[in-house]
Amino acid sequence: MNDTSGLPIAITSLKSNLQYATLKTLSLVSISVMSPQQTVQELFRTADCVCFDVDSTVIQDEGIDELAKFCGKGDEVKRLTAEAMGGNMTFQEALKKRLDIIRPNVGQIREFIEKFPVRLTPGITELVKELHERGVIVYLVSGGFRSLIEPVAERLNIPTINIFANRLKFYFNGEYAGFDENEPTSRSGGKGLVVRRLKELHGYQRLVIVGDGATDAEASPPADGFIGFGGNVVRDEVKKKAAWYVTDFQELIDSFTIQTKS
């Protein structure tokens, strides 16, 4: 006959060991789970593609506001820009309204570029250089105008084929004729469409978008991560949507140093 007198004790001991092992496993799992901010930080450190907004992110100004001031339409356009970036109207509505007010001609565009050189945001040159050295592909994805962004790309050694922005149209005599409404960046959701196409075309697995506005935040997803930038202007509604919000590009540069040390 088998002795079963010690069986209850053995079962109790086994249960205790299983509970301990389960708790230990859960503890380890909880330690390894990253916060939303840490997730975006890790995505950025290992990114194979980074898309930057331009106005108030890569550069210190809103290009369309500065162009409007140059053309004598500054106050009207600045108000519409604030509404557009705050998400209070569709981007295409705001773009059309602003351009209908400014109506810049070819001569004004050329003169503006000559007289008002690009004001890069501090730290962006070093950040883009660091990304390039790491083999990360960098794009400029903007609701601004390609003609104003090309000098920015040149300063940062970003190929012009990596610019996705709006194209102005002119009549044969150089007068304003509108903008290309087929450009995805001319409408709400356009940046997300650009991101999706880039991922499909190039197979990027860890694409991060960086910007200050509502159109940048809404592009993630399909972007794998969004970093809100408030170094030039802080938009509260964008800050709330960003798992990682920075006010200095040095924070992004330093994240690579943290990775190296760890």
User: What are the catalytic residues?
Assistant: 53, 55
Treating both helix axes as pointing N-terminal to C-terminal, what angle do 249-261 and 36-45 enclose, rounded to 10 degrees?
A: 80
Q: Which tokens in the block code for residue 155?
A: 């300063």
Q: What is the DSSP letter of 121?
A: P
Distance of CA 80 to the CA centre of its chain: 21
Residue 86 near residue 214 (C-beta atoms within 8 A): yes
The Cα 127–Cα 156 span in angstroms is 10
The DSSP line for 70-121 is: HTT-HHHHHHHHHHHHTTSS-HHHHHHHHHHHH---HHHHHHHHHHS---BP
3-class DSSP string for 5-43: CCHHHHHHHHHHHHHHHHHHHHHHHHHHCCCHHHHHHHH
Decide: residue 167, CB within 10 A, 0-12 exposed, 13-18 middle, 19+ buried: middle
The Cα 71–Cα 208 span in angstroms is 35
CB atoms within 10 A of CB 16: 10
Q: Which tokens in the block code for residue 53?
A: 């907004």
